[in-house]
Amino acid sequence: MRNAFVRALTSLAEADARVMLLTGDVGYKIFDDFSARFPGRFLNAGVAEANMIGVAAGLALGGLRPFTYSIAPFVTLRCFEQVRNDLCYHNVPVAIVGVGGGFSYGPNGPTHHSLEDIAIMRSLPNMTVVCPGDPVETELAVLAIGSHQGPLYLRLGRAGDPVVHIGRPPFRIGRAVTVRDGTDCTLIATGGMLPVAVEVADRLQPERVSCRVLSMHTVKPLDGDALEESCWKTRMLFTLEEHSRIGGLGAAVAEWLASSGLRRPLRCFGTEDRFSRYCGSQTYLRQCHKLDAVQVAGAIARWLKKEETPCSPTR
């Protein structure tokens, strides 16, 4: 996703001279071309993320469109007060780009695991939260951010993220992408869990389970229309996220269900309310936290058997 982000940002900067990139002392090699092509529009703020956010706010108030870039926990948790007071309070168009969502930096341990960022970002007034599901969605998201009004958090994976979309799907901030249709259950995935959701759907096919798959790339604002359609088309909802079950996608969908008047069983796949005791690759950590396709598919099959009696949506 990082390379896709840089490609799209370069295209955006070519078309809009207001675009600037600020980095928190990371990403030197991947930004070499950007800094050479746009002198004066690339700034290394150093290991000072709070200051970087304040500078970006000033640039935005001056009419520019800054993108701030760093490792996800550092650009959200470390400078939360500045994000809240400088960006959200003034409702300025600054994109906060957090690379390494979830367990992308797995070997670095809990300090680099990003499992709370969606929750804290979606709690802020005026903040939009976008978590692309693959490199294709990443490029489309960056281009869409170019005309977005207000602060936005863009949560990315790292390197080697698989491509899900063969072509360019219709992409709009706040609107989910239907990856495939189905009749038994809906898999609602955000961020890097989209490829896992597709693999889960493939694994359940031989068991005659038809899965509708949604890429909920925008966690805030949530696409209520897509969720309502899923409630009518399928009998159970599952959310998949590489994030704590507290405050993330699953919590957002549960909040929507509680206020919608629609009744559908919901099960949420995410991490427990604790720091990871494990250290290793992203693949290994997903297995440890039961977020790999094999374990998710098995759990869904068991839950569907328990929910054999349909529960009709009511208003």
Q: Which pLDDT tens digit goes with each residue over 40-71?
A: 999 999 999 999 999 999 999 999 999 999 99
Instruction: Answer yes or no: do 239 and 94 share one domain.
Output: no
Instruction: Answer yes or no: do 144 and 216 share one domain.
Output: no
Spell out, as residue ranges, where the chain has pLDDT lower than 70: 307-315
Instruction: Answer yes or no: do 38 and 138 share one domain.
Output: yes
Q: Residue 186: its pLDDT value, please?
A: 98
Task: Among 92, 125, 155, give the residue marking a domain's end.
Answer: 155
Instruction: Answer yes or no: do 34 and 70 share one domain.
Output: yes
Instruction: Answer yes or no: do 131 and 218 share one domain.
Output: no
Q: Is residue 127 part of a domain?
A: yes
Instruction: Answer yes or no: do 204 and 119 share one domain.
Output: no
Q: Is residue 166 part of a domain?
A: no
Q: Is residue 168 part of a domain?
A: no
8 A C-beta contact, residue 286 and residue 270 = no
Instruction: Answer yes or no: do 186 and 69 share one domain.
Output: no
Catalytic residue among 49, 116, 137, 242: 49
Instruction: Answer yes or no: do 18 and 68 share one domain.
Output: yes
Q: Name the nearest CA neighbour of 263 among 300, 207, 304, 315.
A: 315
CATH of the domain at 126: 3.40.50.970
Residue carrying structure tokens 């790999």: 292
Q: Residue 308: its pLDDT value, please?
A: 61
Q: Is residue 163 part of a domain?
A: no
Instruction: Answer yes or no: do 149 and 181 share one domain.
Output: no
Domain carrying residue 274:
177-306
Q: Residue 85: its pLDDT value, please?
A: 98
Instruction: Answer yes or no: do 143 and 182 share one domain.
Output: no
Instruction: Answer yes or no: do 234 and 101 share one domain.
Output: no
Could you confirm whether 272 is annotated as catalytic? no
Burial class (CB in 10 A: 0-12, 13-18, 19+), 111: exposed
Instruction: Answer yes or no: do 47 and 110 share one domain.
Output: yes
User: What are 311's two structure tokens?
Assistant: 């529960």
Strand order in the sheet with 19-23: 42-44, 19-23, 65-71, 95-99, 152-155, 128-130, 218-220
Q: How far apart are the two ends of the chain, measured CA to CA in Å?
A: 40
Give the torsion through C-alpha atoms of 136, 138, 141, 143, to 10 deg: -80
Q: Is residue 219 part of a domain?
A: yes
CATH of the domain at 256: 3.40.50.920
Tell me how many domains the chain contains: 2
Burial class (CB in 10 A: 0-12, 13-18, 19+), 192: buried
Report the alpha-carbon distance of residue 55 to residue 2 in Å, rounded.
23
Report the alpha-carbon distance of residue 143 to residue 146 in Å, rounded.
5
Q: Residue 62: its pLDDT value, please?
A: 97
Q: Is residue 94 part of a domain?
A: yes
